[in-house]
Amino acid sequence: MTKTFTMELAGRTLRVDVGRVAAQANGAVFIQYGETTVLSTATASEKPREGIDFFPLSVEFEEKLYSVGKIPGGFNKREGKASENSVLTSRVIDRPMRPLFPKDYRNDVTLNNMVMAVDPQCRPELVGMLGAAMATCISDIPFDGPCAMTQVGMVDGEFIINPSQEQWDKGDLKLTVASTSTKVIMIEAGANEIPEDKMIEAIYKAHDVNQTVIEFINKMVTEVGKPKHSYTSCAIPEEMFAAMREIVTPEQMEEAVFTDVKQVREENIRQITEKFEEAFADNEEWLEVLGEAVYQYQKKTVRKMILKDHKRPDGRAIDQIRPLSAEVDLIPRVHGSAMFTRGQTQICDIVTLAPLSEVQRVDGLDEFVTEKRYMHHYNFPSYSVGETKPSRGPGRREIGHGALAERALLPVLPSTEEFPYAIRAVSETFESNGSTSMASTCASCMSLMAAGVPIKKMVAGISCGLVTGDSDDDYLVLTDIQGLEDFFGDMDFKVTGTKDGITAIQMDIKIHGLTRPIVEEAIRRTREARFFIMDTCMSKAIAEPRKEVGEYAPKIIQIQIDPAKIGDVVGQRGKTINEIIDRTGVKIDITDEGNVSVCGTDKEKMDEAVKMIEIITTDFEEGQVFTGKVISIKEFGAFIEFAPGKEGMVHISKIAKERIEHVEDVLTLGDVVKVVCLGKDKMGRISFSIKDCQ
């Protein structure tokens, strides 16, 4: 039996069908917003997965290209590996929902969102987010929802709720906010230097809209929701914790974790774990969960130290940033490099410049974004945390961190008219102990400046953490969290920006939401920290972009030609432009508007290519002088090529001042000669004279 629910949301109709499709899933909704259609399902395994100490949640966002009337490119002609947008959308769905599942739940859960039709007025990412929450809420899977998500754009200074794809792509704000019925639970944003107060206003405007959606979901749950199923709890027995406290007292555990050196702390915990293993040697059931129990013991100790004693594991003040250092040009021959170190977090960033022909092509659901000029890639090798495992390419975390740093720097990049380059920044994690994505932002900013990219302003990033108590008023915000405070704390609130405003936000939490005072304090703290990092560290390494690109970077000369002459430069089947490239070794890009970019490393060859293009596109006038090569000899004269695909004729009477009987008496094939233009002959050919140049 199908049940249909509808509501008006931001001026469009949201329609949800339950029971129409996918009846064997634990929960399923067939959801339409405008004409954008997504099937969202939630399924769970019957039993917990054995041998794990985490909640195995998988979130998928499937982009079907038939949804926008496309056939996938490439040989295979079917959708393959998830796109970067799919991965990022999956992460945005995962982050607010994961904390709402029971902490001791170990059943596999999959949330699948399949995009089946796309209306450019209603972004499919938003529809998938809402569908995932609805499918889970009406299912029998334990879930402390509902939650809802709203997106906010800004065009001409005005906020737009759930903007169209064009408004989202071209506006000054890309904000996604997830909420429960009382608190904000997730924030993701890209912004064009939005002031902090304006960002907070936008966040809570979205939070208010979320409340109307939550009322709608509650109505669905009341009418079609299934009773939540029981499950096997994987919580650590309280009697085990009591036994552990007798073996290692809270004071001893505090002493073990109270150090600013990660390796020392890990060795201390290893020795404590060995004590527990010896003590529980005869209790196989406890040994199976010992790793999780030690983790929980550390977590309780650290949280108590921070919240009650205002004591951080490395001894810092609550608002103190770890020691900072920065340097540029540490890698020779690359186009730009910088290293940023904050405590035991260290990122080296390398920038590569290339002509615009090397932009990344994007084959996705967004008709407005078909290429990326700036690419930011982030790598996290196992050695950065002292572990060993093979590299299998970037995972979802690496893709997400790279996208965050990319989003942070996009607002300050120069336009293609100002700087006609494709730009790739690669952040290599040398060492990790908390918030490498924010270190990547700082390192990338300096690397871009070192490469001579004329960015408009300096950008820095920092993360704040949180430890909460038993009430909404019992909390402590921490500036610059290290790994331990991230693992055991309640929040990772990352903010990047210039001194004039925010460029990106990513907020992850492990609790059921944040109050407004916490959000406001975190944003204020990150602003103060960004200023400190820029003033005391980054600006001392490099204060402004270099005036020119480096020695080994490609140089670009731009000229403007008449668009009607583009065909002359390209030639039949590309013959002319390819010949220019073969002769000079440069790369040439031409836009439909007639903007020509000549890229190379040899200035002399670049100038030669530019001269050829200018000759080809010049309207020939009598008296112009050219240098050309003899390419053909006839009885009546010789043909001179003065640019690729361009030639003119010198009549035998115009070769020498004295009379000659045969052209070969003076000229041979391959001779380079100077000629003057006499205009065009009766056949429309360009006519040259050699003798009038002598």
For the chain, count helices (H), then strands (E).
17, 29
Contact between residue 103 and residue 296 where contact means Cβ atoms under 8 Å apart:
no
Contact between residue 135 and residue 41 where contact means Cβ atoms under 8 Å apart:
yes
**64 SS3 class:** coil
- Residue ranges covered by each domain of the chain: 3-149+207-224, 238-309, 324-541, 555-616, 625-693
The secondary element (H helix, E strand) that includes residue 286 is helix 284-288
For the residues 79-90, what does the mean pLDDT come to?
A: 92
Tell me whether the CATH fold assigned to 238-309 matches the one assigned to 625-693: no
* pLDDT over 90 at 446, yes or no: yes
Contact between residue 178 and residue 513 where contact means Cβ atoms under 8 Å apart:
no
Contact between residue 505 and residue 188 where contact means Cβ atoms under 8 Å apart:
yes
Pick from 336, 472, 479, 464: nearest CA to 409: 336
- CATH H superfamily, domain 3-149+207-224: GHMP Kinase, N-terminal domain (3.30.230.70)
CA 1 from chain center: how many Å?
43
In the numeric block, the tokens 């794990």 are attached to: 52
For the residues 453-469, what does the mean pLDDT come to?
A: 96
Give the least confident one: 23-27, 212-216, 685-689.
Answer: 685-689
Could you report the per-residue pLDDT of 522-564, keeping only the tens digit for each? 999 999 999 999 999 999 999 999 999 988 999 998 888 988 8
For the residues 358-385, what does the mean pLDDT come to?
A: 87
pLDDT number for residue 375: 96
Q: Can you read off the two tokens belonging to residue 223? A: 């009418």
Could you report the per-residue pLDDT of 499-512, keeping only the tens digit for each? 999 999 999 899 99
What's the rounded Cα separation, in Å, for the pair 540 and 129? 43
Pick from 174, 253, 209: nearest CA to 8: 209
* pLDDT over 70 at 694, yes or no: no
Beta bridge pairs of residue 391:
none
**186 SS3 class:** strand
What's the rounded Cα separation, in Å, for the pair 532 and 537? 8
Residue type at 659 in one-letter notation:
R
Could you report the per-residue pLDDT of 486-502, keeping only the tens digit for each? 888 899 999 999 999 99
For the residues 635-663, what does the mean pLDDT come to?
A: 86
What's the rounded Cα separation, in Å, for the pair 96 and 513? 9
Contact between residue 558 and residue 609 where contact means Cβ atoms under 8 Å apart:
no
Q: Can you read off the two tokens belonging to residue 122? A: 């209603």
Q: How confident is the model at residue 22 (pLDDT cuts 50, 70, 90)?
A: very high
Give all strands (DSSP E) within 482-586, no chain letters. Answer: 491-497, 502-509, 555-560
Whether CATH 1.10.10 fits 238-309: yes
Q: Can you read off the two tokens belonging to residue 23? A: 């009846």
Largest CA distance in the chain: 116
pLDDT > 70 in the chain, percent: 99
DSSP state, residue 192: E
Could you report the per-residue pLDDT of 376-399, keeping only the tens digit for each? 999 999 999 888 888 888 899 999
CA 508 from chain center: how many Å?
17
pLDDT number for residue 234: 84
Contact between residue 546 and residue 449 where contact means Cβ atoms under 8 Å apart:
yes
How many Cβ atoms from other residues are within 10 Å of residue 536's Cβ? 12
Pick from 404, 348, 421: nearest CA to 95: 404
Mean pLDDT of the chain: 92
Question: What is the C-alpha radius of gyration for the chain, rounded to an integer number of angstroms?
Answer: 32
Residues in CB range of 298: below 8 A, 6 or more apart: 253, 257, 269, 484, 488
* pLDDT over 80 at 683, yes or no: no
- CATH H superfamily, domain 555-616: K Homology domain, type 1 (3.30.1370.10)
**Alpha-carbon torsion (171, 174, 179, 182), positive or negative:** negative
Whether CATH 2.40.50.140 fits 625-693: yes
pLDDT number for residue 393: 83
pTM, to two decimals? 0.87
pLDDT number for residue 665: 82
Q: How confident is the model at residue 403 (pLDDT cuts 50, 70, 90)?
A: very high
Cis peptide before 142 (omega within 30 of 0): no
Q: Exposed, middle or buried, 116 (CB in 10 Å: 0-12/13-18/19+)? A: middle
pLDDT number for residue 686: 82
pLDDT number for residue 616: 83
Class of domain 324-541 (CATH, top level): alpha beta
pLDDT number for residue 617: 84
Q: How confident is the model at residue 643 (pLDDT cuts 50, 70, 90)?
A: confident
For the residues 640-666, what does the mean pLDDT come to?
A: 85
Could you report the per-residue pLDDT of 162-217, keeping only the tens digit for each? 999 999 999 999 999 999 999 999 999 999 999 999 999 999 999 999 999 999 99
Give the residue with greater pLDDT, 234 vs 132: 132
DSSP state, residue 204: H
What's the rounded Cα separation, in Å, for the pair 214 and 225? 14
What percent of the residues of the chain are helix, what percent strand, and what percent coil, each to the nearest 5?
35, 30, 35
CA atoms within 13 A on the CB side of 693: 19
For the residues 447-470, what does the mean pLDDT come to?
A: 96
